[in-house]
Structure 1
Amino acid sequence: MEIPTNSTGVDFILLGFFSHTQAHAYLFSVVLVIFTASLMGNTLMILLICRDSRLHTPMYFLLSQLSLMDMMLVSTIIPKMATNYLMSIRSISPVGCGSQIFLFLTLAGGECFLLAAMSYDRYVAICQPLRYHVLMSSKLCAHLTLGSWLLGAADGLMQAGTILSFPFCRSRAINHFFCEAPSLVRLACADTKVFEFFMYICCVLMLLIPLSLILASYSLILVAVLRMRSSAARKKAFATCSSHLAVVGLFYGAIMFIYMRPKSHQSGERDKVVSAFYTIFTPVLNPLIYSVRNKEVQEALRKWLQRL
Structure 2
Amino acid sequence: MNDLPSWRAGTTRDAILAFVADVTTGADALPAEERIAVFDNDGTLWTEKPMPTQLHYIVQRWAAAAAADPSLAAQQPYKAVVEGDLAWLGSALDKHYNGDDSDLQVAVAAIVRSTQGMSVEDYHASVDAFYREAEHLTLHRPYANAVYRPMTELLAFLTANDFSCYIVSGGDRDFMRPISTAYYAIPPERVIGSSAGLSYDEATDDVRYADTMEFFDDGPQKPIRIWMRTGRRPILAAGNSNGDIPMLRYPKRHPRSLSVLVHHDDGERGDAAYDTGAERALATAAADGFTVVSVRDDWDTVFVE
Same fold? TM cut 0.5: no
> Which protein has the bigger helix share?
1
Question: Greater Rg, structure 1 or structure 2?
Answer: 1
> What TM-score results when the alignment is normalised by the length of structure 2?
0.25
> Which protein has the bigger strand share?
2
> What TM-score results when the alignment is normalised by the length of structure 1?
0.25
